[in-house]
Amino acid sequence: MSLRLILILLRPLYYLLYHQFAWTYDLVSAAVSLGRWQDWVQAALPQLRGRVLEIGFGPGHLQISLNEKKLQAFGLDESRQMAHQTRRRLRKKGIIPRLSRGYAQNIPFASGAFDSVVATFPAEFIFDLQTLKEIKRVLVPAGRLIILPTAWITGRRLLERLAAWLFRVSGEAPGKPGAVSTAMRDRFSRTGFEVQSKIVELKESQVLVIVAKKR
């Protein structure tokens, strides 16, 4: 079975996980990452500053961390279930939610509203030209887009090797850890970004961090 066919078959499952079964998201993500998912998401924090828009905020854990760092956090997500879950989680922490429902291809915020935009393990929409143009629009001059597109489990124990294989065949962690492809760099350049990338080393895993600066 080809990787493309596997991804097509898995797409409806991803949709359910983010919508009707959103209440299972934390459990599933922790299971497939062997408990590393939250550490991966938190790897974005050192790159963020000022007013931050998180695209695809999911269950809201990064929203909490942003508020704890005294950053002005806003969120955009199209999932009604995730929005409900995150609002409830933020209010339990005494945090006023600043969340909007919508699509990244048409961001409902004013131009130049944010110093940083972040997306952790987003779907392929994040690399759409229209999405990148909208993100550029809402960023201040020299503002930064931070994307965590993938992570790799590098431990050598049997369960870790199995998890790494599952990430590969599902397309979540293609190939070996590496930098952004030339084609992807061209896409960023066409929409007005200068892009850099780095691998963040975590416990028996690695995360790719893309930093795209608005020209």
Provide the pLDDT confidence category of residue 164 given band limits of 50, 70 and 90. very low
Tokens at 167, concatenated: 């990430």
pTM across the whole model: 0.84
Is residue 2 over pLDDT 50? no
Contacts of 149 (CB under 8 A, 6+ apart): 121, 122, 126, 208, 210
Residue 152, beta-bridge partner list: 206
Pairing of strands 139-153, 114-120: parallel
Whether the Cβ atoms of residue 115 and residue 170 lie closer than 8 Å to each other: no
Residue 28: the pLDDT is 79
Pairing of strands 193-202, 139-153: unpaired
Provide the pLDDT confidence category of residue 35 given band limits of 50, 70 and 90. confident
Is residue 175 over pLDDT 50? no
Tokens at 93, concatenated: 């922490």
| CA 156/CA 74 separation, integer angstroms | 38
Of 13-22, 68-77, 146-155, 199-208, the least confident? 13-22
The total of other beta-carbon atoms located within 10 Å of residue 38's CB is: 15
Mean pLDDT of 47-62: 97
Is residue 6 over pLDDT 80? no
Q: Which domains does the chain have, with CATH numbers?
A: 3-214 (3.40.50.150)
Residue 74: the pLDDT is 98
E-state strands within the chain: 51-55, 72-77, 99-101, 114-120, 139-153, 193-202, 205-214
pLDDT per residue over 119-141, tens digit each?
Answer: 998 888 999 999 999 999 999 99
Name residue, tokens 């970004």.
193
Residue 86: the pLDDT is 97
Out of 5-19, 108-122, 191-205, give the one with best mean pLDDT: 108-122
